[in-house]
């Protein structure tokens, strides 16, 4: 995370050697604090895929900008980290897809169950 901020700050705020300007230092401190207190605990998703976005609107926007704009920079300077992050993002997407799939299956099963019950009830009333 610090490396990502460093790349961005070096490029956009004229700092050197992964050093951060006061604004980026403050943003990084907020992000790190929020992450340590993340309500998801060990199931924490990647922040840029999270629905809560706990950093607040302005800081989330700034954070996203840093994450997006350094995507390529990270890949050249720290390829292993960039790949790990990409894989983690893909795994979040995959989990989301699996959860949605399971939910759809559950909904379908419920609907089928309800239909069968209605049919059985109908039949029972006819047989009376
Ligand atoms: S943005 Fe979401 S995942 Fe990231 S620290 Fe906040 S709540 Fe946790
Ligand atoms: Zn900066």
pLDDT (tens digit per residue) in 42-98: 777 777 778 888 888 888 889 888 888 876 556 556 666 666 766 676 666 777 777
Distance 23 CA to ligand 2 centre (A): 6
- Reduced 3-state DSSP string for the chain: CHHHHHHHHHHHHCCCCCCCCHHHHHHHHHHHHHHHCCCCHHHCCCHHHCCCCCCCHHHHHHHHHHHHHCHHHHHHHCHHHHHHHHHHHHHHHHHHHHHHHHHHHHHHHHHHHHHHHHHHHHHHHHHC
Domain with 102 in it? 2-127
pLDDT (tens digit per residue) in 5-56: 998 999 999 999 879 999 999 999 998 899 889 988 877 777 777 888 888 8
Domain count within the chain: 1
Shortest-distance Cα residue to atom 1 of ligand 1: 53
* Ligand 1 site, residue 45, Cβ cutoff 6 A: yes
0.75 exceeded by the pTM? no
């Amino acid at each position: 995370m610090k490396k990502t901020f460093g790349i961005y700050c070096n490029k956009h705020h004229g700092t050197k050697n992964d050093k951060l300007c006061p604004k980026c230092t403050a943003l990084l401190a907020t992000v790190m604090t929020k992450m340590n207190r993340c309500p998801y605990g060990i199931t924490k998703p990647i922040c840029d895929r999270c629905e809560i976005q706990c950093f607040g609107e302005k800081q989330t926007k700034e954070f996203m900008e840093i994450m997006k704009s350094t995507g390529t920079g990270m890949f050249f300077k720290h390829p292993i980290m960039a790949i790990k992050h990409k894989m983690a993002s893909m795994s979040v997407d995959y989990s989301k897809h699996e959860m949605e799939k399971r939910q759809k299956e559950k909904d379908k099963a419920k609907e089928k169950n309800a239909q069968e019950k209605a049919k059985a009830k109908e039949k029972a009333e006819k047989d009376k």
